[in-house]
């Protein structure tokens, strides 16, 4: 396995640099021509940071299931910036997808099966991105083509969908993310018939990002005929990542039933 960390061009917001970390499996000799499906992971962190529990552990779990995996440490809120953060992270994501496609031969990626996985705020990033990736103005700003920017599917874990549906609790913080009136505040209103197939999961007792967010998105996906699955688990707090010992803050966070989400998502992907 090879691990490569690549700094992305500036998004034009803040002074921090976004990076893409590639976790790439080399083929055995008998499978020299093999191309693998790939996932680009956007960790959560409330747009304030990128959680390490939702990056590399998920990448390694995907590697074990035959995927190539990539983790995007995207642009987050800079206290020195007066303007809202978005769409800087979406620009990072567009460029990261384009970068993976440009390395598809060397990284043995099947570009037709390249999708995105987002957790919490990272899921909001993904869900809004799939709409922006069809916008010519956004693509021009990111400097990528629609084909380079395309995500074939998305998996959203305990997603923030509507910035007015329970998170963030502070309206001023929502303003730091995106301006009042911005369509990026409500990802479910951006869903259309060409939204990529979507798998989402949440827990019914999430006290940080209420489960209402998942229901809003699932209803929009159904209304537009988008292939999707929505799983709501009865137990588990917010931000559980894989819900295993490897990603847990507390012993009680290792929940075997909830940890089935990754297998369920990959089974769904295999049927697409």
Please state the φ and ψ torsions of residue 199, each to the nearest 5 degrees: -110, 130
How many independent structural domains does the chain possess?
A: 1
- pLDDT digits 0-9 by tens, 32-54: 889 999 999 999 999 999 999 99
pLDDT per residue over 108-148, tens digit each? Answer: 999 999 999 999 999 999 999 999 999 999 999 999 999 99
pLDDT tens digits, one per residue of 7-36: 999 999 999 899 999 999 998 888 888 999
Three-state secondary structure call for residue 242: coil
pLDDT of residue 251: 79
pLDDT for 32 equals: 81
pLDDT bucket at 101, cuts 50 / 70 / 90: very high
Instruction: Give the number of other Cβ atoms within 10 Å of residue 16's Cβ.
Output: 15
Mean pLDDT value across the chain = 96
Q: What is the dihedral of CA 124, 85, 193, 134, to 10 degrees?
A: -140
In degrees and rounded to multiples of 5, residue 90 shows phi and psi of -65, -35
| Domain ranges, residue 170 | 2-271
Both tokens assigned to 11: 């998004």
What is the rounded distance in angstroms from the CA atom of residue 79 to the CA atom of residue 24? Answer: 35
Tell me the mean pLDDT in the region 237-244. 96
At 23 the pLDDT is: 98
The answer to whether the beta carbons of residues 59 and 68 sit under 8 Å apart is no
Burial class (CB in 10 A: 0-12, 13-18, 19+), 170: exposed
β-bridge mates for residue 232, sequence order: 202
CATH code of the domain in which 136 resides: 3.40.50.1820
Q: Dig out the tokens for 51 from the structure.
A: 């959680």
By CB atoms closer than 10 A (0-12, 13-18, 19+), residue 212 is middle
Rounded Cα distance between 8 and 229, Å, is 32
The secondary element (H helix, E strand) that includes residue 176 is helix 171-177
């Amino acid at each position: 396995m090879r691990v490569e960390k690549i700094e992305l061009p500036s998004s034009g917001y803040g002074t921090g640099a976004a990076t893409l970390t590639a976790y790439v499996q080399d083929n055995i000799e008998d499978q020299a021509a093999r191309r693998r499906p790939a996932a680009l992971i956007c960790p959560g962190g409330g747009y304030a940071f990128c959680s390490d529990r939702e990056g590399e552990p998920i990448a390694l779990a995907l590697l074990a299931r035959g995927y190539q995996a990539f983790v995007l440490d995207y642009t987050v809120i800079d206290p020195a910036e007066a303007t809202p953060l978005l769409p800087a992270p979406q620009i990072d994501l567009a460029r990261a997808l384009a970068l993976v496609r440009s390395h598809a031969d060397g990284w043995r990626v099947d570009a037709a099966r390249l999708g995105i996985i987002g957790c919490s705020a990272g899921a909001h990033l993904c869900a809004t991105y799939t709409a922006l990736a069809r916008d010519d103005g956004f693509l021009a700003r990111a400097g990528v083509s629609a084909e380079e920017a395309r995500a074939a599917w998305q998996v959203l874990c305990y997603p923030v969908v509507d910035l007015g549906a329970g998170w963030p609790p502070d309206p001023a913080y929502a303003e730091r993310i995106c301006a009042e009136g911005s369509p990026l505040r409500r990802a479910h209103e951006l869903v259309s018939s060409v939204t990529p197939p979507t798998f989402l999961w949440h827990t019914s007792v999430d006290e940080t990002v209420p489960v209402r967010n998942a229901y809003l998105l699932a209803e929009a996906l159904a209304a537009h005929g988008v292939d999707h699955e929505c799983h709501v688990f009865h137990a588990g707090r917010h931000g559980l990542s894989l819900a295993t010992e490897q990603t847990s803050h507390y012993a009680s966070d290792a929940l075997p039933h909830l940890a089935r989400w990754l297998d369920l998502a990959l089974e769904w992907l295999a049927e697409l």
